[in-house]
A and B are shown apart, each in its own frame.
Chain A
Amino acid sequence: MNKQRDLIWLALIILVIGGAAWVVFSDNYPVQRGLDLQGGLQVLLEADVPADQNIPREELDTARQIVDQRVNALGVTEPLVQIEGDRRILVELPGIEDPNQAISLIQETALLEFIDTGDQSLPAGTCVRTTLNNGPSRCELPVGAPIDTPIANPAPTYETVMTGAELKLAQSERNQANQYYVSFTLKPEETQFFADYTRQNQGRFLTIVFDKQVISSPRISAIISGGSGTITGNFTLEEAQKLALQLRFGSLPIPLRIESTRLVGATLGEQSVNASIRAGIAGVIMVLLFMIGYYRLPGVLAAIALLIYALLNFAVFEGLPVTLTLPAITGFLLSLGMAVDANVLVFERMKEELARGRKVSESVHSGFQRAWTSIRDSNIATLVICTILWSFGRSFGASAVQGFAITLAIGVAISMFTAVLITRTFVNLVIGGNSDWMTQHRWLLGA
């Protein structure tokens, strides 16, 4: 019978609540706090090529990977580097200590250097300093340490001969003896310089450094006059391929320029957020009290459904995850308003039917049935708006706009589940199940 169906629903609801509670309270799914909640840096990079020039997806993705590697070295806990649209890369570094360093790091385009190490062959992985932007390098510090950490044994400084920007091409190849090597071609304008250099330094080591870290230290075995040469060593296939890739992409495949930056001071953000969240919670409690005061027993049931609603939302926010910013929290609060709205629509219907002299169980039934079309139509309209907002925000990395649209949309979707299904199951079991008793205590229904 109906009661049986409601009990099955109740079991399902309890299951969902259990799952949600697990996600919310387990440490596996931390809350992702956005820039305005903990301060940080957002940088929108755009390919610095003419607007009508198409950018191959692979190039944009390679550039993204390189930027990702660079910011990863900064030791930020949750860096975000993603492609936005078809010519932009969005970088978000929440809680970053030194934003200026991050900006210069992201902007650096040629971090590949050829340095003169004289008679010395340096093992791969060695950290060095070079005459190009001389100074302590990230390589010398433990991951995540601030850039001004004192360094006990500074790395020696070598002269930069050439940077990756002078390379035109690099690829891995194999000779007859089945040894892998890397061949490279210089840009035409560099050919003469390199020919002269190799003539003067034949037999010495020309070490290849990527981000101030040695990747290979080959000896200049011949004069390279034609603009193309090879790097040999005991390479495996993977090593040769990796070296070729680094030679090729050490400079970004496409030039990037900074289109917008957003630097949020941690303190300003924190004050604003704490106040806003406290205020939001106070507002929600007012709403719950109002629901209970005005609708009595159904109001209590709806308030419980709303608390479940909040739990489910946070489970989704943490599980997906959704980065929480102030606008995102506002979106959630508004969706909470819509969840309340759905209940109000139903309860007002119920009271109307009761006022017409219907039985309690009939009123409950038609309250939910009649209100459904209104709830459905208005929620779909909101979801449409959310979709438009989301794509609007997406096209230029306005994560505030996106966050708002996502939480509002998630909230609306969940509200259809909680405000309709959960509240209905509760109301059916508590009120519909005790129809006769309820009829004698109509004040409990606020009617």
Chain B
Amino acid sequence: MFENFVQKRRYYYIFSGVVIGLGMLAMIFSFATSGKIFPLGVDFLGGSRFEIQFDQSVTEDQVRDVFTQNDITNPAITALRGQDLSNAWQIRTEFVDATKAHSLETALTALAPLVPGTFSVTTVSPAVGKEVTRAALAAVLVSGVVVLFYIMFAFRQVPNSFRYGACAVIAMFHDLFVIFGFAAIMGMISGWEVDALFLTGVLTVAGFSLQDTIVVFDRVRENSARKRSGSFEALVNRSVQETIKRSLITQLSAMFVLLSILLFGGESIKPFIAVLFVGLLSGTYSSIFTAVPLLVSWQEGEIPLISKPA
């Protein structure tokens, strides 16, 4: 099935383009409506997030009244859905201090008794939020650069080692765009917010994406060292065929675990697991269908402006 796999590279580029394009549309839509490419949580924006569960049903308006009576304008209220989450609510507000949070807890308890041990609050000052955002961007960029140099170093004996590094990094950004798009779409559908854990997911996906790419490239390196006759295309084809099983099996094992947590695990960690799941899926795809074909395109001189035949 993979005999002439690299020859069909244009289709893979188109497929990736469509998937990323959909995500981009969601991001543009989100940007147009809210000014952000995906909904950001309190970790990045600052503010407070309450999670509470009443032991009887209350209406959204009742909850809203509690907050407005405590001088909090525009609380964003959503009902949480899921196993064991009946009458559970999430409320996003501006930054409130500990005293205020406590008086809100009292006021909410007066509305209806809370299920014991279910009052959770996260508050982050806007200053810290800004700093987290900066640190997050720095972390992503540093990861990209470090990894590019690492691969260049690991592949230094191969001609054009920079190309290997660059293709791996492009595949990595491919995956990042996929999960950014995913975050934007899920933000629209389910109101998921991007938090510090999302970023953790992003960097992990980046790491695993590279890992997959490295395994395939490693085979290309090994096969090209043997200096058999035949085109680079054929050599790459063979390398992919030789590693595809491993990629799929490894993928399946990670997927088993993640899917199991996604389906049966707790609510609080689901967005994180979902991001990892989609990211790993994309990572496996991109190592085979983006990084490798790109490398071939580059070697064959198909990339406009920068690419010369090797």
Which residues of A come within 8 Å of B, CB atoms? 36, 39, 44, 46, 100, 103-104, 107, 258-276, 278-280, 282-284, 286-287, 290-291, 294, 326-327, 330, 333-334, 336-338, 340-341, 344-345, 348, 352, 370, 373-374, 377-382, 384-386, 388-389, 392-393, 395-396, 398, 400-401, 404-405, 408
Contact = CB atoms under 8 A, between A and B. Distances in A.
Contact of A337 (B135, B250, B264): B250
B208 to A, nearest CB: 7
B239 to A, nearest CB: 12
A103 B98 contact: yes
Contacts of B263: 279
B117 interface: yes
B142 A388 contact: yes
A262 B243 CA distance: 45
A258 B100 CA distance: 13
Interface stretch (B66-74, B183-191, B195-203, B296-304): B195-203
15 contacts: A103-B98, A103-B102, A262-B122, A270-B117, A272-B267, A279-B265, A283-B261, A287-B253, A287-B257, A290-B253, A337-B257, A382-B208, A385-B207, A393-B200, A404-B200
A327 B200 contact: yes
B193 interface: no
A268 B53 contact: yes
Given A283-B261, A392-B139, A374 B269 contact: no
Contacts, number: 229
Interface string B249-286: 11011101111110111111100110010000000000
Contact of A400 (B197, B256, B266): B197
Contacts of A39: 117
A339 to B, nearest CB: 10
A190 B81 CA distance: 58
Contacts of B269: 272, 276, 326-327, 330
Contact of A275 (B211, B246, B265): B265
B249 A294 contact: yes
Given A290-B256, A378-B210, 15 more contacts: A258-B98, A261-B123, A265-B51, A272-B269, A283-B257, A290-B253, A330-B273, A340-B254, A348-B246, A377-B154, A379-B211, A381-B210, A382-B208, A386-B207, A388-B142
Contacts of B102: 100, 103
B204 A408 contact: yes
Nearest to B254: A337
A71 B120 CA distance: 20
Contact of A385 (B99, B120, B204, B257): B204
Which of A291, A381, A393, A408 gathers most chain B CB within 10 Å? A381
Contacts of A380: 150
Interface of B: 43, 51, 53, 83-84, 97-99, 101-102, 105, 115-125, 127-128, 131-132, 135-136, 138-139, 142-143, 146-147, 150-151, 154, 196-197, 199-200, 203-204, 206-208, 210-212, 214-215, 218-219, 222, 242-243, 245-246, 249-250, 252-254, 256-261, 263-269, 272-273, 276
A283 B250 contact: no
Contact of A265 (B98, B118, B136): B118
B132 A396 contact: yes
Contacts of B208: 334, 382
A110 B155 CA distance: 61
B135 A385 contact: no
Contacts of B101: 261, 263
Contacts of A389: 139, 200, 203-204
B122 A261 contact: yes
Contacts of B204: 334, 385, 389, 404, 408
Given A265-B118, A282-B264, A337-B254, A327 B272 contact: yes
B154 A340 contact: no
A339 B149 CA distance: 25
A334 B254 contact: yes
A382 B246 contact: no
B199 A401 contact: yes
